[in-house]
Amino acid sequence: MHTRTVHIRFRLAAACLWTAVSLAAQPQSAEPDSVRLRDIPEVTVTGRNNPESRSTAPLQVVTTDDLGRLNALQVSDAVKHFSGVAVKDYGGVGGLKTVSVRSLGANHTTVNYDGVAVSDVQTGQIDIGRFSLDDVESVSLVNGQSDDIFRPARSFASASVLDIHSRRPVFEHGKRIGGKAFLRGGSFDLLNPSLTLNGKITSWLTSSVSGEYLYTRGNYPFKYRYGNSEGDSVAVLQRQNTDVRNLRLEAALYATPSEQEEASLKAYYYHSERGLPGNVTYYNPQQNTNQRTWDHTFFTQGHYRRQWSHQWSLQASGKYHRSSMRYLDAEYLGSTGVQDNTYSQQEYYGSVSALYRPWSSFSLSASADGFINTMQSDLAGFAEPTRYSLLSVLAAKYANNWLLATASVLNTLVHERVEHGDAPARHCRFSPYASLSFKPFGAHDLRLRMFYKEIFRLPTFNDLYYTNVGNTNLKPETTRQYNVGLTYTDRWGKYIPHVHLTADLYYNSVDNKIVALPSKKDIFLWSMVNYGKVAISGMDLTGEWRIRPTDRIGLLLGASYTYQRALNVTDPTDPYTYRHQIPYTPRVSGSARGGVETPWVNLSYSLVWSGHRYTFTQNYPANRLEGYQDHSLSLSRVFLLSFGKLSASIEALNLGGENYQVVRGFPMPGRSWRATVGLTF
């Protein structure tokens, strides 16, 4: 990076910080980042008083109550309802599911689990299908950056952040033991039992232990058309090699020794064995494949937070993560006739943050994160890289009843070494961010918001070191995000107690996009290069209405809509790809949900839909993948017992029975059902 560019960015960030300091000189009432530890964190939602309306960057949240209305089994099912989000789904319960926000790609989204990032330095993509919703309190997604500046530096280091928050144990007066048990069953031999036990050890120390097992054969039928014309014959086939076995175990301790401090310690284990269904093609309609993967993930993480005074707060986190993956292809077409490889990763992570609040309306924070990532493989001559990363952030926030402003500067230092081959160059980058939310009318909660963020993503270990493909000379992808929007929250009389509407216009620019290109001499040899430049512009709309026609009946209506043009603007002289929509990005997409709550039964409806997409960079008819609609319906009821609550629900999924494809060649399940029985005690 040129010195002049660094100076310009420093001046921009310094100007934002100085503006916030100047505003802070005016004494105003405000909502502080944290008054006491018993206060609800900014990303948590209770009732309808949530931070979505005053957020300076687009923030979307679903809570425990919302999750029950979305026909959601995994976190990926809930995320599909967020505007501007594309979940790339390879089919079925066990298929890989990654999230891309505003067409930036899964590598640009950080996934946090209870405040600590989940990492995969090999691919940079987190499979959000592995996170169950049984013990989840809320799922939130922010484009850009959270207004909560008292966070680890890693939460500042991506274009968007998906936060998954577990439910902490809560005990009624006099109770010391509680928990819940669920049993799900459904189509394609789905079996999914789970159990959570909570214990109150002392007045300030609680514990939680949970486990979940999931099995499905996943052998759903699908329609296969032999050609693209209307009169072509159609066959009904069955998905093969789709069995899944998942086991998840978690244990946690939560401590609140005083009103000024809290701590937590969590251990997590996940094991998965699954088949990899093949790509359905004209020449392989039976998907003859014998590929399997085994995944093992373990991590333990701890968190401590203390408020030393009204002005000073401190928090620290630590984590050890280890994962391994075995990939087996028993029908490998190479000389060995079989491919059987193992990859393993480790991460050592530590974070410390300080918050200083000189006035009630103004706060400053400083965060520093350090982590070490390693990777090993049984491949001959594998590089065995080790990456050392240090992230540091300075941030400021000003808030009163009509104005909210934040600014930050992130510094990233990365160094790598390898056991074999050449290591890439060191990276030192500064990334500024600034945001603003303004309420022009005192009587109405209508707010104008805007933000700018510059961020980058480093090449993954696969990008750098994958055999015969990796390129250690790759530069990071650089992304510039611009957003301007409106939020409106109000109460429309007695019968409509809550209305929340948002509208956002955005523009993203990606430089040095990392892509895989085939060799000009040999189509079987590919290489990773900094080739692409992408310009993304779009609009997100969301709406939610709560209607209360009587005291005993409630209605919920919600919808989201996204329009985006994600264009390849790499080479103006290339008529075949220039200003064509990038692969797997629909021009229009959206979701809707509705619910009726009565004393007798609850009815919920959800819809996810997408327009057509293209599977390659050339927007030709042959590369067109048709759009789809997925409708689901559920009935549920809760029975109050003397010792707890018994819940029962039945869900009809994909009512239209459409075998649509999110990824070409990977048909989704058609019409299916799922039933759940749960006991909370």
Nearest alpha carbon to residue 274 among 239, 321, 300 = 239
Q: Amino acid identity, residue 64?
A: T
Give the phi and the psi of residue 255 in degrees, each rounded to 5: -125, 135
Please give the C-alpha separations between residue 192 and each of 133, 333, 609, 634, 674, in angstroms, as whole numbers: 12, 36, 27, 18, 10
What's the angle, vertex CA 64, arms to CA 551 and CA 585, rounded to 5? 115
Euclidean distance between CA atoms 343 and 90, whole angstroms: 22
pLDDT at 77: 86
> Is the separation of the CB atoms in 609 and 586 below 8 Å?
no
Q: Amino acid identity, residue 584?
A: Y
The contacts of residue 543 (CB under 8 Å, 6+ apart) are: 499, 500, 501, 502, 557, 558, 559, 560
Please, which pLDDT band fits residue 228 given cuts at 50, 70 and 90? Answer: low
DSSP of 596-609, one letter per residue? EE-SS-EEEEEEEE
Q: Is the pLDDT of residue 285 over 80?
A: no
Q: Return the higher-pLDDT residue of 278 and 504.
A: 504
pLDDT at 233: 75
Q: Is the pLDDT of residue 369 over 70?
A: yes
Please, which pLDDT band fits residue 50 given cuts at 50, 70 and 90? Answer: low
> Is the separation of the CB atoms in 99 and 125 below 8 Å?
no
594-623: per-residue pLDDT in tens? 999 999 999 999 999 999 999 888 999 989
Nearest alpha carbon to residue 276 among 247, 248, 245, 244 = 244
Give the phi and the psi of residue 107 in degrees, each rounded to 5: -65, -15
Quote the distance between the C-alpha of residue 295 and its chain's center: 20
The contacts of residue 344 (CB under 8 Å, 6+ apart) are: 322, 323, 324, 325, 375, 376, 377
**Backbone φ/ψ region at 189: left (φ over 0), alpha (ψ -120 to 50), beta:** left
Nearest alpha carbon to residue 389 among 301, 478, 476, 470 = 476
pLDDT at 230: 65
pLDDT at 15: 44
pLDDT at 280: 79
329-353: per-residue pLDDT in tens? 887 777 777 889 999 999 999 999 9
Q: Is the pLDDT of residue 18 over 80?
A: no
Q: What is the mean pLDDT of the chain?
A: 87
Locate tokens 């549920």: which residue? 636
What mean pLDDT do residues 632-643 have?
93
Euclidean distance between CA atoms 643 and 661, whole angstroms: 45
Per-residue buried b or exposed e for 603-621, using 16+ beta carbons within 10 Å of the residue's own CB: ebbbbbbbeebbeebebee
Lowest mean pLDDT among 95-109, 307-321, 372-386, 421-435: 95-109
> Is the separation of the CB atoms in 144 and 95 below 8 Å?
no
pTM for this one?
Answer: 0.87
Q: Is the pLDDT of residue 393 over 70?
A: yes
Q: Return the higher-pLDDT residue of 174 and 82.
A: 82
70-126: per-residue pLDDT in tens? 778 888 888 989 999 988 777 667 667 888 999 998 899 999 999 999 999 998 889
Give the phi and the psi of residue 649 in degrees, each rounded to 5: -150, 155
Euclidean distance between CA atoms 75 and 131, whole angstroms: 6
Please report, rounded to a whole number, the percentage of residues in the chain having pLDDT higher than 70: 88
Q: Return the higher-pLDDT residue of 88 and 479.
A: 479
Please, which pLDDT band fits residue 53 given cuts at 50, 70 and 90? Answer: confident
- Token pair, residue 111, equals 């996934």
